[in-house]
Structure 1
């Protein structure tokens, strides 16, 4: 599935063996030293023996593994593969993951089924292929969790339990946005695992159980390395990062805490070589619980939607707007007719809290709203026009083809005050295809601040410092006013092919 090969642990393993060997030799030496004195000093010998018996053995994971391993299953799929239905470990690689892997140099042979790897002799119809992943029972009546990319487009799904029995499974529902799937086998009294009711802390021990490379019931141990990881897989990224070796075939398998509860579902690894380097990603139990509950109830997942395009609040943007910090999510553009527009949310507002709970960044807002059900009413706290206000929004349902994306936005450091912007401008109405509102960028100096901030020819500047602009003179005046007010940066609302965003530029000359 997603995960890869065991990490290069030979050196570390050797060190463990060496340390263990040293301990054994030391104990042996002590025994040889004590033995000759035993006859002359029986009390000494007895004391040493008692101390040896009371030495605490190293704490292992055997009891936990014995408890949880029966709930883990091997998921095997059969797919009628074709160029349009290529598989990765038995399923479709989730949107965004392949880009993430390739960005970090994942070798091409990690995608053996992909169309770019097909040679001249493979242009005809594909043969029936099989894939394998992992999963785990979440209830005694046969419901089990795995990854969406494990079972996506599968014609047949079978599961094999820890005791070697094989069952045919039915796919109840899938959620590509979180890469989760719920499957079911007929039967009762299956051993099952419970989802943890609290998030693990960074540094907590975890155990990953699964079937890497088809090696069933493999257990690896590590710690939680980080939380809230965004790997570019989707708008709801909130992965746990663990260093327990996770490999191809572990996908969909559980990560347990030391109490035997599932804290995450293994779904991806970072690997520059194709092998495990101790960086794996798991979907948190809270997300799994929310998604699986909906899949079980109705076979699909619906998400709350307020209908805004959002982006991070950078330090430059915060300075331009007079904000005290960079917390919250900046509304780049509300969608016409959306719940946000009906509630009075405007472009340039900064959403700082939902139902009284602070929002740290744009991605956190997307996750928070996406975790709520359509129809719920939420209170959004906004910074609007220099003052704070609260609005009530009734959540709509996220359209099938719409993502509540948190745009990457402008994340570069600020530039020196007074630098030339490096822009050539013209009224939008004078350039075909640019619309009738704003000022279109007709040229960008490659060495100027605007180029540094992502401006491209064809972008349209709609507002500068909160004021609509219709010609280059409006832009120059807005910049001059900003300099008079001793502002280091000025906020521009820019429309491009990717959507609308806010960009902070130094208050230099256009």
Structure 2
């Protein structure tokens, strides 16, 4: 008898293009070439980044180098004057933990005036006079809002700068003595730019740089009329020039009673 049973036929399978792909093992030489190529790309990237950083660093170095030379040249010329040399004797370098700034002595018994931000969180602090004497100090008062600080060092018969409590005047000639750009005892001259009184902030034409914070603004007689704390930065593409900013001494005396008592005793 004839068997009519037949196995069912499989459905037709149509291969896809992916079926014709196959993984091919890479040779050791090809693997090395790929690693070398990746390494080369990384090295080129690092090299380009380093060149860009060097360019930026070079621009800043040249900028500050020119400023440093100009400051030193001006300071050397002004320091030929006897009264300028006397003013400098009272200006100290403040060296602290991770920072450096300027201060000045306002009393023969050793009271140093500077900015709050110069001493804040930078203890221990060393106060170095031009004579080479080094002192440590305790804080009498530090006013963050006004950005001023008064400190006491153990000393006597020290050179000091007198304070002038009345308002500074527009166009008045002034000096600033400080320790900018890793230099010390740098003096430059300028004038007061404010056009109205009383002043909340003194605007001065003197060039101000990092390290100038806490520098005294002095009249031609060597009286302190303000304390430098910053420099203004004009808007981009603005025709305005930046100028130095200082806290008027009359505001400081008002805010720090101890300073007024010291001033009255002299």
The TM-score normalised by the length of structure 2 is: 0.63
Distance (whole Å) between structure 1 residues aligned to residue 126 and residue 79 of structure 2: 33
The partner residue of 1:257 within 219, 223, 229 is 219
User: What are the within-5 Å matches in structure 2 for residues 63-74 of structure 1?
Assistant: 63-74=82-93
Instruction: Give yes or no for the alignment of 1:244 onto 2:212.
Output: no
Please say which structure displays the higher CA radius of gyration. Answer: 2
**Offset of 1:67 from its aligned partner?**
2.1
2:230/2:245 contact within 8 Å kept: yes
* RMSD of aligned Cα (Å): 3.2
Distance change in 2, residues 1:254/1:243 (3 Å): same
User: What are the within-5 Å matches in structure 2 for residues 279-318 of structure 1?
Assistant: 279-294=243-258
In structure 1, list runs of 5 or more residues that go unmatched: 17-58, 79-129, 230-235, 298-510
**Offset of 1:228 from its aligned partner?**
6.2
Alignment-derived partner of residue 135 in structure 2: 167
**Offset of 1:72 from its aligned partner?**
0.5
SS at match of 2:162: coil
User: What are the within-5 Å matches in structure 2 for residues 365-444 of structure 1?
Assistant: none
Distance change in 2, residues 1:228/1:289 (3 Å): farther
Distance change in 2, residues 1:200/1:60 (3 Å): farther
**Offset of 1:237 from its aligned partner?**
7.8
1:137/1:191 contact within 8 Å kept: yes
CA deviations 1:282-341 (Å, max 9, x no partner) are: 1111112223334787xxxxxxxxxxxxxxxxxxxxxxxxxxxxxxxxxxxxxxxxxxxx
SS at match of 2:256: helix
Instruction: Give yes or no for the alignment of 1:192 onto 2:156.
Output: no
CA deviations 1:436-477 (Å, max 9, x no partner) are: xxxxxxxxxxxxxxxxxxxxxxxxxxxxxxxxxxxxxxxxxx
Alignment-derived partner of residue 232 in structure 2: 270
Distance (whole Å) between structure 2 residues aligned to residue 172 and residue 227 of structure 1: 34
Distance (whole Å) between structure 2 residues aligned to residue 184 and residue 203 of structure 1: 34
CA deviations 1:449-506 (Å, max 9, x no partner) are: xxxxxxxxxxxxxxxxxxxxxxxxxxxxxxxxxxxxxxxxxxxxxxxxxxxxxxxxxx
User: What are the within-5 Å matches in structure 2 for residues 108-123 of structure 1?
Assistant: none
Distance change in 2, residues 1:269/1:6 (3 Å): farther
Distance change in 2, residues 1:193/1:6 (3 Å): farther
2:91/2:178 contact within 8 Å kept: yes
2:178/2:187 contact within 8 Å kept: yes
**Offset of 1:9 from its aligned partner?**
7.0
Distance change in 2, residues 1:188/1:227 (3 Å): farther
Alignment-derived partner of residue 152 in structure 1: 120
1:227/1:239 contact within 8 Å kept: no
2:89/2:130 contact within 8 Å kept: yes
In structure 2, list runs of 5 or more residues that go unmatched: 1-62, 236-240, 262-266
SS at match of 2:194: strand
Distance (whole Å) between structure 1 residues aligned to residue 134 and residue 250 of structure 2: 29
